[in-house]
Structure 1
Protein backbone atom coordinates (compact mmCIF):
# COMPACT_ATOMS: atom_id res chain seq x y z
CA UNK A 1 0.00 0.00 0.00
CA UNK A 2 1.21 3.44 -0.83
CA UNK A 3 0.59 6.65 1.06
CA UNK A 4 -1.40 8.09 -1.83
CA UNK A 5 -3.96 5.29 -1.39
CA UNK A 6 -4.59 6.43 2.17
CA UNK A 7 -4.98 10.03 1.02
CA UNK A 8 -7.28 9.06 -1.86
CA UNK A 9 -9.44 7.05 0.55
CA UNK A 10 -9.78 10.05 2.87
CA UNK A 11 -10.60 12.38 0.00
CA UNK A 12 -13.23 9.91 -1.26
CA UNK A 13 -15.23 10.69 1.88
CA UNK A 14 -14.91 14.48 1.74
CA UNK A 15 -12.57 17.29 0.71
CA UNK A 16 -9.69 17.98 3.12
CA UNK A 17 -6.92 20.51 3.53
CA UNK A 18 -3.42 19.20 4.08
CA UNK A 19 -3.72 20.27 7.72
CA UNK A 20 -7.00 18.33 8.10
CA UNK A 21 -5.39 15.24 6.59
CA UNK A 22 -2.45 15.45 9.00
CA UNK A 23 -4.75 15.84 11.99
CA UNK A 24 -6.87 12.87 10.89
CA UNK A 25 -3.79 10.70 10.41
CA UNK A 26 -2.50 11.61 13.87
CA UNK A 27 -5.74 10.67 15.64
CA UNK A 28 -8.28 8.51 13.81
CA UNK A 29 -5.82 7.21 11.26
CA UNK A 30 -2.99 6.27 13.58
CA UNK A 31 -3.61 2.57 12.91
CA UNK A 32 -3.79 2.99 9.13
CA UNK A 33 -0.52 4.75 8.53
CA UNK A 34 2.62 5.57 10.43
CA UNK A 35 3.16 9.18 11.31
CA UNK A 36 3.24 11.44 8.32
CA UNK A 37 5.08 14.74 8.44
CA UNK A 38 3.17 17.68 6.98
CA UNK A 39 5.82 18.12 4.29
CA UNK A 40 5.25 14.50 3.19
CA UNK A 41 1.49 15.11 2.96
CA UNK A 42 1.87 18.33 0.92
CA UNK A 43 4.50 16.76 -1.34
CA UNK A 44 2.22 13.78 -2.03
CA UNK A 45 -0.81 16.06 -2.62
CA UNK A 46 1.26 18.07 -5.12
CA UNK A 47 2.26 14.89 -6.93
CA UNK A 48 -1.33 13.63 -6.92
CA UNK A 49 -2.52 16.96 -8.31
CA UNK A 50 0.12 16.80 -11.07
CA UNK A 51 -1.11 13.27 -11.87
CA UNK A 52 -4.68 14.59 -12.11
CA UNK A 53 -5.97 12.57 -9.13
CA UNK A 54 -6.92 15.57 -6.99
CA UNK A 55 -7.59 19.24 -7.49
CA UNK A 56 -7.63 22.02 -4.96
CA UNK A 57 -9.61 25.14 -4.27
CA UNK A 58 -8.42 27.95 -2.05
CA UNK A 59 -10.52 28.42 1.08
CA UNK A 60 -10.03 32.04 2.09
CA UNK A 61 -9.98 32.39 5.87
CA UNK A 62 -10.28 35.67 7.65
CA UNK A 63 -7.49 36.28 10.13
CA UNK A 64 -5.77 33.00 9.23
CA UNK A 65 -3.77 31.77 6.29
CA UNK A 66 -5.84 30.60 3.33
CA UNK A 67 -6.10 26.83 2.97
CA UNK A 68 -5.91 24.63 -0.09
CA UNK A 69 -8.80 22.19 0.10
CA UNK A 70 -8.29 19.07 -1.99
CA UNK A 71 -10.96 16.91 -3.57
CA UNK A 72 -10.84 13.73 -5.58
CA UNK A 73 -11.13 13.91 -9.37
CA UNK A 74 -12.64 11.17 -11.56
CA UNK A 75 -9.07 10.08 -12.34
CA UNK A 76 -8.33 9.90 -8.62
CA UNK A 77 -11.44 7.81 -8.04
CA UNK A 78 -10.34 5.46 -10.83
CA UNK A 79 -6.88 5.11 -9.23
CA UNK A 80 -8.50 4.40 -5.86
CA UNK A 81 -10.82 1.78 -7.34
CA UNK A 82 -7.91 0.17 -9.18
CA UNK A 83 -6.07 -0.24 -5.86
CA UNK A 84 -9.17 -1.59 -4.10
CA UNK A 85 -9.72 -4.16 -6.84
CA UNK A 86 -6.07 -5.14 -7.29
CA UNK A 87 -5.05 -8.55 -5.96
CA UNK A 88 -4.63 -8.55 -2.19
CA UNK A 89 -1.68 -10.56 -0.91
CA UNK A 90 -1.73 -11.08 2.86
CA UNK A 91 1.54 -10.44 4.68
CA UNK A 92 2.92 -12.99 7.12
CA UNK A 93 1.76 -10.92 10.11
CA UNK A 94 -1.94 -10.47 10.70
CA UNK A 95 -3.75 -7.15 11.24
CA UNK A 96 -1.33 -5.29 9.00
CA UNK A 97 -2.03 -1.81 7.68
CA UNK A 98 -2.62 -2.88 4.07
CA UNK A 99 -5.56 -5.08 5.00
CA UNK A 100 -7.10 -2.53 7.36
CA UNK A 101 -6.77 0.37 4.91
CA UNK A 102 -7.86 -1.60 1.86
CA UNK A 103 -10.86 -3.21 3.56
CA UNK A 104 -12.05 -0.01 5.24
CA UNK A 105 -11.84 1.77 1.88
CA UNK A 106 -13.36 -1.04 -0.21
CA UNK A 107 -16.35 -1.80 2.03
CA UNK A 108 -18.31 1.41 1.26
CA UNK A 109 -17.18 1.63 -2.38
CA UNK A 110 -17.17 -1.92 -3.79
CA UNK A 111 -18.98 -4.64 -1.87
CA UNK A 112 -17.58 -7.52 -3.95
CA UNK A 113 -14.01 -6.25 -3.61
CA UNK A 114 -14.49 -6.01 0.18
CA UNK A 115 -15.82 -9.58 0.31
CA UNK A 116 -12.86 -10.77 -1.75
CA UNK A 117 -10.35 -9.03 0.50
CA UNK A 118 -11.87 -10.58 3.62
CA UNK A 119 -12.07 -14.05 2.03
CA UNK A 120 -8.44 -13.87 0.90
CA UNK A 121 -7.28 -12.80 4.37
CA UNK A 122 -9.41 -15.45 6.09
CA UNK A 123 -8.21 -18.27 3.82
CA UNK A 124 -4.61 -17.23 4.31
CA UNK A 125 -4.92 -17.07 8.12
CA UNK A 126 -6.67 -20.44 8.32
CA UNK A 127 -3.88 -22.02 6.25
CA UNK A 128 -1.28 -20.27 8.40
CA UNK A 129 -2.88 -21.72 11.55
CA UNK A 130 -3.05 -25.19 10.02
CA UNK A 131 0.68 -25.04 9.15
CA UNK A 132 1.88 -23.64 12.44
CA UNK A 133 -0.46 -24.37 15.34
CA UNK A 134 0.76 -27.90 16.04
CA UNK A 135 4.41 -27.46 15.17
CA UNK A 136 7.20 -28.34 17.57
CA UNK A 137 8.14 -25.19 19.46
CA UNK A 138 10.80 -26.79 21.63
CA UNK A 139 13.71 -24.47 22.25
CA UNK A 140 17.06 -26.13 21.68
CA UNK A 141 20.23 -24.98 23.33
CA UNK A 142 23.78 -25.52 22.23
CA UNK A 143 26.50 -23.70 24.09
CA UNK A 144 24.22 -20.89 25.37
CA UNK A 145 25.77 -17.70 26.69
CA UNK A 146 26.55 -17.73 30.41
CA UNK A 147 23.64 -16.55 32.52
CA UNK A 148 20.89 -17.56 30.08
CA UNK A 149 18.03 -18.86 32.22
CA UNK A 150 16.54 -21.67 30.18
CA UNK A 151 13.41 -22.02 32.30
CA UNK A 152 12.59 -18.30 32.00
CA UNK A 153 13.35 -18.47 28.29
CA UNK A 154 10.91 -21.38 27.88
CA UNK A 155 8.22 -19.63 29.94
CA UNK A 156 8.52 -16.41 27.95
CA UNK A 157 8.58 -18.31 24.66
CA UNK A 158 5.39 -20.20 25.64
CA UNK A 159 3.65 -17.07 26.92
CA UNK A 160 4.38 -15.18 23.71
CA UNK A 161 3.17 -18.09 21.59
CA UNK A 162 -0.08 -18.23 23.61
CA UNK A 163 -0.53 -14.48 23.17
CA UNK A 164 0.04 -14.74 19.41
CA UNK A 165 -2.28 -17.76 19.06
CA UNK A 166 -5.05 -16.02 21.01
CA UNK A 167 -4.64 -12.88 18.89
CA UNK A 168 -4.77 -14.93 15.69
CA UNK A 169 -7.89 -16.76 16.89
CA UNK A 170 -9.62 -13.44 17.68
CA UNK A 171 -8.58 -12.11 14.26
CA UNK A 172 -9.99 -15.16 12.46
CA UNK A 173 -13.22 -14.94 14.46
CA UNK A 174 -13.54 -11.27 13.49
CA UNK A 175 -12.90 -12.11 9.83
CA UNK A 176 -15.55 -14.86 9.92
CA UNK A 177 -18.07 -12.53 11.56
CA UNK A 178 -17.31 -9.75 9.08
CA UNK A 179 -17.59 -12.09 6.11
CA UNK A 180 -20.92 -13.33 7.40
CA UNK A 181 -22.20 -9.77 7.77
CA UNK A 182 -21.04 -8.86 4.27
CA UNK A 183 -22.51 -11.93 2.62
CA UNK A 184 -25.77 -11.80 4.55
CA UNK A 185 -26.38 -8.23 3.38
CA UNK A 186 -26.07 -6.76 6.87
CA UNK A 187 -24.13 -3.55 7.34
CA UNK A 188 -20.65 -3.90 8.78
CA UNK A 189 -20.41 -2.27 12.20
Structure 2
Protein backbone atom coordinates (compact mmCIF):
# COMPACT_ATOMS: atom_id res chain seq x y z
CA UNK A 1 0.00 0.00 0.00
CA UNK A 2 1.27 3.44 -0.87
CA UNK A 3 0.66 5.92 1.92
CA UNK A 4 0.19 8.75 -0.57
CA UNK A 5 -3.20 7.34 -1.58
CA UNK A 6 -4.37 7.40 2.02
CA UNK A 7 -3.62 11.13 2.12
CA UNK A 8 -5.16 11.73 -1.32
CA UNK A 9 -8.27 9.83 -0.24
CA UNK A 10 -8.59 11.92 2.90
CA UNK A 11 -8.11 15.13 0.94
CA UNK A 12 -10.74 13.96 -1.57
CA UNK A 13 -13.19 13.97 1.34
CA UNK A 14 -12.28 17.46 2.56
CA UNK A 15 -9.35 19.88 2.77
CA UNK A 16 -7.22 19.19 5.84
CA UNK A 17 -4.12 20.43 7.59
CA UNK A 18 -1.21 18.10 8.28
CA UNK A 19 -2.32 18.03 11.91
CA UNK A 20 -5.87 17.06 10.89
CA UNK A 21 -4.50 14.25 8.72
CA UNK A 22 -2.42 12.86 11.59
CA UNK A 23 -5.32 13.09 14.01
CA UNK A 24 -7.56 11.12 11.62
CA UNK A 25 -4.84 8.50 11.14
CA UNK A 26 -4.36 8.12 14.89
CA UNK A 27 -8.07 7.63 15.48
CA UNK A 28 -10.23 6.34 12.62
CA UNK A 29 -7.31 5.33 10.43
CA UNK A 30 -5.09 3.51 12.91
CA UNK A 31 -5.82 0.16 11.24
CA UNK A 32 -4.86 1.53 7.83
CA UNK A 33 -1.49 2.92 8.82
CA UNK A 34 -0.05 2.82 12.31
CA UNK A 35 2.78 4.75 13.87
CA UNK A 36 2.66 7.72 11.50
CA UNK A 37 4.79 10.66 12.55
CA UNK A 38 3.85 14.22 11.76
CA UNK A 39 7.13 14.68 9.90
CA UNK A 40 6.24 11.78 7.54
CA UNK A 41 2.94 13.45 6.70
CA UNK A 42 4.57 16.82 6.02
CA UNK A 43 7.30 15.28 3.84
CA UNK A 44 4.72 13.39 1.81
CA UNK A 45 2.49 16.46 1.49
CA UNK A 46 5.50 18.39 0.16
CA UNK A 47 6.14 15.65 -2.45
CA UNK A 48 2.46 15.58 -3.44
CA UNK A 49 2.55 19.37 -3.80
CA UNK A 50 5.67 19.11 -6.01
CA UNK A 51 3.86 16.61 -8.23
CA UNK A 52 0.92 18.99 -8.52
CA UNK A 53 -1.49 16.59 -6.81
CA UNK A 54 -2.02 18.79 -3.76
CA UNK A 55 -2.10 22.53 -3.21
CA UNK A 56 -2.29 24.40 0.06
CA UNK A 57 -3.48 27.70 1.38
CA UNK A 58 -2.87 29.45 4.66
CA UNK A 59 -5.65 29.38 7.20
CA UNK A 60 -5.12 32.18 9.76
CA UNK A 61 -5.72 31.07 13.35
CA UNK A 62 -6.42 33.49 16.19
CA UNK A 63 -3.85 33.16 18.95
CA UNK A 64 -2.23 30.14 17.28
CA UNK A 65 0.15 29.62 14.39
CA UNK A 66 -1.45 29.77 10.96
CA UNK A 67 -2.22 26.38 9.41
CA UNK A 68 -1.53 25.08 5.91
CA UNK A 69 -4.78 23.56 4.67
CA UNK A 70 -4.21 21.09 1.85
CA UNK A 71 -6.58 20.57 -1.07
CA UNK A 72 -6.69 17.90 -3.75
CA UNK A 73 -5.96 19.34 -7.20
CA UNK A 74 -7.52 18.09 -10.46
CA UNK A 75 -4.25 16.22 -11.15
CA UNK A 76 -4.42 14.68 -7.67
CA UNK A 77 -8.00 13.63 -8.31
CA UNK A 78 -6.93 11.94 -11.55
CA UNK A 79 -4.07 10.16 -9.76
CA UNK A 80 -6.45 8.94 -7.06
CA UNK A 81 -8.98 7.70 -9.62
CA UNK A 82 -6.25 5.93 -11.63
CA UNK A 83 -5.07 4.15 -8.46
CA UNK A 84 -8.65 3.29 -7.45
CA UNK A 85 -9.25 1.59 -10.80
CA UNK A 86 -5.86 -0.16 -10.91
CA UNK A 87 -5.80 -3.94 -10.44
CA UNK A 88 -5.71 -5.26 -6.90
CA UNK A 89 -3.21 -8.02 -6.18
CA UNK A 90 -4.02 -9.79 -2.89
CA UNK A 91 -0.96 -10.14 -0.68
CA UNK A 92 -0.06 -13.42 0.97
CA UNK A 93 -0.69 -11.91 4.39
CA UNK A 94 -4.31 -12.04 5.49
CA UNK A 95 -6.03 -8.68 6.02
CA UNK A 96 -3.14 -6.58 4.74
CA UNK A 97 -3.86 -2.83 5.10
CA UNK A 98 -3.85 -2.44 1.29
CA UNK A 99 -7.26 -4.12 1.15
CA UNK A 100 -8.71 -1.76 3.77
CA UNK A 101 -7.25 1.33 2.09
CA UNK A 102 -8.67 0.33 -1.29
CA UNK A 103 -11.99 -0.73 0.24
CA UNK A 104 -12.49 2.66 1.88
CA UNK A 105 -10.96 5.14 -0.53
CA UNK A 106 -11.57 3.43 -3.88
CA UNK A 107 -14.99 2.33 -2.66
CA UNK A 108 -16.10 5.86 -1.87
CA UNK A 109 -15.27 6.91 -5.44
CA UNK A 110 -17.15 4.19 -7.34
CA UNK A 111 -19.82 1.81 -5.99
CA UNK A 112 -18.59 -1.07 -8.16
CA UNK A 113 -15.03 -0.97 -6.86
CA UNK A 114 -15.53 -2.44 -3.36
CA UNK A 115 -17.54 -5.33 -4.82
CA UNK A 116 -14.88 -6.03 -7.43
CA UNK A 117 -12.22 -5.81 -4.73
CA UNK A 118 -14.10 -8.30 -2.57
CA UNK A 119 -14.51 -10.65 -5.54
CA UNK A 120 -10.75 -10.70 -6.13
CA UNK A 121 -9.99 -11.14 -2.43
CA UNK A 122 -12.60 -13.90 -2.04
CA UNK A 123 -11.28 -15.86 -5.01
CA UNK A 124 -7.72 -15.58 -3.71
CA UNK A 125 -8.57 -16.59 -0.12
CA UNK A 126 -10.81 -19.50 -1.20
CA UNK A 127 -7.98 -20.80 -3.41
CA UNK A 128 -5.57 -20.34 -0.51
CA UNK A 129 -7.83 -22.47 1.73
CA UNK A 130 -8.26 -25.13 -0.96
CA UNK A 131 -4.46 -25.38 -1.40
CA UNK A 132 -3.48 -25.49 2.23
CA UNK A 133 -6.32 -26.67 4.45
CA UNK A 134 -5.68 -30.40 4.02
CA UNK A 135 -1.91 -30.27 3.54
CA UNK A 136 0.48 -32.47 5.48
CA UNK A 137 1.61 -30.38 8.44
CA UNK A 138 3.93 -32.97 9.96
CA UNK A 139 7.05 -31.46 11.50
CA UNK A 140 10.41 -33.22 11.28
CA UNK A 141 12.80 -33.51 14.21
CA UNK A 142 15.81 -35.46 12.92
CA UNK A 143 18.42 -33.87 15.17
CA UNK A 144 16.82 -31.28 17.45
CA UNK A 145 18.88 -29.40 20.01
CA UNK A 146 18.25 -30.63 23.58
CA UNK A 147 15.89 -27.76 24.42
CA UNK A 148 13.44 -28.59 21.62
CA UNK A 149 10.42 -30.56 22.82
CA UNK A 150 8.93 -32.15 19.65
CA UNK A 151 5.57 -32.81 21.27
CA UNK A 152 5.23 -29.22 22.43
CA UNK A 153 6.45 -27.91 19.07
CA UNK A 154 3.78 -29.98 17.27
CA UNK A 155 1.10 -28.74 19.67
CA UNK A 156 2.13 -25.10 19.23
CA UNK A 157 2.21 -25.50 15.46
CA UNK A 158 -1.26 -27.04 15.45
CA UNK A 159 -2.62 -24.28 17.69
CA UNK A 160 -1.25 -21.64 15.33
CA UNK A 161 -2.74 -23.50 12.36
CA UNK A 162 -6.15 -23.58 14.05
CA UNK A 163 -5.90 -19.87 14.79
CA UNK A 164 -4.99 -19.11 11.18
CA UNK A 165 -7.77 -21.35 9.83
CA UNK A 166 -10.28 -19.61 12.09
CA UNK A 167 -9.08 -16.17 11.00
CA UNK A 168 -9.28 -16.93 7.29
CA UNK A 169 -12.74 -18.52 7.72
CA UNK A 170 -13.96 -15.45 9.63
CA UNK A 171 -12.42 -13.18 6.96
CA UNK A 172 -14.19 -15.08 4.16
CA UNK A 173 -17.47 -14.86 6.11
CA UNK A 174 -17.01 -11.11 6.52
CA UNK A 175 -16.22 -10.68 2.82
CA UNK A 176 -19.34 -12.64 1.80
CA UNK A 177 -21.57 -10.74 4.24
CA UNK A 178 -20.13 -7.38 3.19
CA UNK A 179 -20.56 -8.21 -0.49
CA UNK A 180 -24.27 -8.93 0.09
CA UNK A 181 -24.69 -5.64 1.99
CA UNK A 182 -22.99 -3.68 -0.79
CA UNK A 183 -25.11 -5.33 -3.47
CA UNK A 184 -28.25 -4.56 -1.46
CA UNK A 185 -27.08 -0.97 -1.01
CA UNK A 186 -26.40 -0.59 -4.73
CA UNK A 187 -29.82 -2.03 -5.59
CA UNK A 188 -31.70 0.03 -3.01
CA UNK A 189 -29.64 3.17 -3.55
CA UNK A 190 -29.41 3.87 0.18
CA UNK A 191 -27.17 2.77 3.03
CA UNK A 192 -28.43 -0.16 5.09
CA UNK A 193 -29.80 0.88 8.46
CA UNK A 194 -27.54 -1.52 10.38
CA UNK A 195 -24.49 -2.91 8.57
CA UNK A 196 -23.87 -5.26 11.51
CA UNK A 197 -27.30 -6.89 11.12
TM above 0.5, one fold?
yes
Paired residue for 2:151?
A: 151
Could you report, residue by residue, the CA deviation over 1:36-84 in whole angstroms, capped at 9, with x for unpaired residues?
Answer: 2211111111111121111111110111110001111121111111111
Paired residue for 2:6?
A: 6
The two structures have a TM-score, normalised by structure 2, of 0.92
Paired residue for 1:180?
A: 180
- Cα separation, 2, equivalents of 1:42 and 1:153: 47
- Cα separation, 1, equivalents of 2:120 and 2:82: 17
Alignment of 1:32-47 (within 5 A): 32-47=32-47
Runs of 4+ that moved beyond 2 A: 183-189
2:82 aligned with 1:82: yes
Distance apart, 1:18 and its partner CA: 0.4
Could you report, residue by residue, the CA deviation over 1:136-188 in whole angstroms, capped at 9, with x for unpaired residues?
Answer: 11111110011211111111111111011000000000111111122232637
Q: How large is the RMSD of aligned CA atoms in angstroms?
A: 1.3
Distance apart, 1:6 and its partner CA: 0.6
Paired residue for 2:58?
A: 58
Gaps of 5+ in 2: none
Partner SS, residue 71 of structure 2: strand
Could you report, residue by residue, the CA deviation over 1:77-110 in whole angstroms, capped at 9, with x for unpaired residues?
Answer: 1111111110000000110010010111122211
Partner SS, residue 161 of structure 1: helix
- Cα separation, 1, equivalents of 2:155 and 2:67: 56
The two structures have a TM-score, normalised by structure 1, of 0.95
- Cα separation, 1, equivalents of 2:111 and 2:182: 8
Distance apart, 1:34 and its partner CA: 2.9
- Cα separation, 1, equivalents of 2:46 and 2:79: 16
